[in-house]
Chains A and B, each alone.
Chain A
């Protein structure tokens, strides 16, 4: 009996699909699930929040809660969880886009929009690449996030970079599903890194991306995806369901948010499915449509808005 009790957390972690049931947790007193008022009626449209099913109206608020909680410890946590690899992914993501590249000298400059870019991670890299590699100091970026506390964190960080109070950066608090302040056909590059997973209505966000992009503009998305090698997948699942919530509790003092994180990764559509969603929004995808990173833990998806034939 004692051994079965000791084994239980292991068994649970190995079978993440059973997570949603009420089970005893060793390291947490989270009672989020128990008290969650997510008993949605049949009339309401629902979506998923991790492994839970919640009303669409509710997801936004709960995601906001998660990110308000983690904003300050965001980078430390990312380093712990991905063993630092997330920096390599982000560098590769930006390099593969090659922002600011131009056939004319001087470069005409790209207009970029970084969605869910609160802490500025991707945005500063994009600007660095434009300036240092492609000699395009004219390129500008709008950093948009639905969450003001993530954006405040980014503003604070921008003061440490050469873009402190720079006119090249705009800050915008907006929902990616309603980018009303962004004109149609005005953006060269739309990026969203580790953000689209949390959107309530991904299709709507993709259509909105299609609207704001110039014809020929690029939609680029860096997001967690499905590991292709089953052996590596087993190891990865152990790590994500076993270690990450624990690290979250120890480092950030917040298990629930990181439990949500790993569950939302599990729920997010896998490579092919997400590629088809991008196509359905009207984009043309290059090659097979995505590039796997570290065996598929993350993937870069791209789409080009086609030019309408006159």
Chain B
């Protein structure tokens, strides 16, 4: 625990000074205020229930504004329009993951879950967070892919995979910190896209798809590790051969 706290303090290495976000987790400091003010949050949270029927559109935003006691004109509060809805959904779902970590605890005496299993479990929980809006999710993906929104979307994806690894108890401080997050990001983005066309009951196909992706990463990761080991061994052997021949290196 202490080690994890210390590690989380070291992580700001990569942090840029931004007002509304930080790229590390802290047990000692409250989280920074989100990008949305309380007024904006009240309208956005009131808009969420309208998304399944009206999608990620200005109409949902207007209806939400009305529910929160505002008027149609108040949607001017969101210069990015419906993308604010997408962002709010992404953010609330990501922050909601922390409450789902209870499901990671195993019964007394049973073998505790490994980090890998926890990551899989949390990734699945996050995907299920899109269940209500998955028939509208392609609209959200289109909004996220708009050039002006791409940086925010990518940042949100990075924050999500970091959140999942952090909640799973990952404490790596080497280059695997990056590879873990990068590979989880690709897996999540691919599975999320797959899910938009999945019609199977309880998203069984998505589940299989996700498992296959995790397996792929393991295989590729294992292969990369083996190749690395072989390269290292050959190099040091070659070096020793040269030294035995009298080359001064």
Contacts and interface: CB of A to CB of B under 8 A. Distances in A.
A189 B73 CA distance: 7
Given A215-B70, A217-B71, A307-B70, A286 B76 contact: yes
Given A286-B79, A307-B68, A218 B59 contact: no
Interface residues of B, number: 21
Contact of B70 (A96, A98, A216): A216
A220 interface: yes
Contact of B72 (A188, A284, A304): A188
A103 B73 contact: no
A304 B39 contact: yes
A169 to B, nearest CB: 19
A96 B70 CA distance: 19
A103 B59 contact: yes
Interface of B: 37, 39-40, 58-59, 62-63, 65-66, 68-79
Nearest to B65: A216
A291 interface: yes
A103 B58 CA distance: 8
Contacts of A291: 79
Nearest to B58: A101
B69 A216 contact: yes
A108 B66 CA distance: 13
A218 B62 contact: no
Contacts of A99: 73
B106 to A, nearest CB: 44
A102 B75 CA distance: 10
A110 B70 contact: no
Contacts of A287: 79
Contact of A97 (B62, B65, B76): B76
Contacts of A216: 65, 69-71, 73-74
Interface string A208-223: 0000001111101000
Shortest 4 CB-CB distances between A and B: which pairs? Answer: A103-B62, A216-B70, A216-B74, A216-B71
A95 to B, nearest CB: 12
Given A103-B59, A216-B65, A287-B79, A110 B39 contact: no
A216 B71 CA distance: 6
A288 to B, nearest CB: 9
A216 B65 CA distance: 9
A2 B59 CA distance: 68
11 contacts: A101-B58, A103-B66, A214-B73, A215-B71, A216-B69, A217-B73, A218-B73, A286-B79, A287-B79, A304-B39, A306-B39
Contacts of B70: 215-216, 304, 307
A216 B77 CA distance: 9
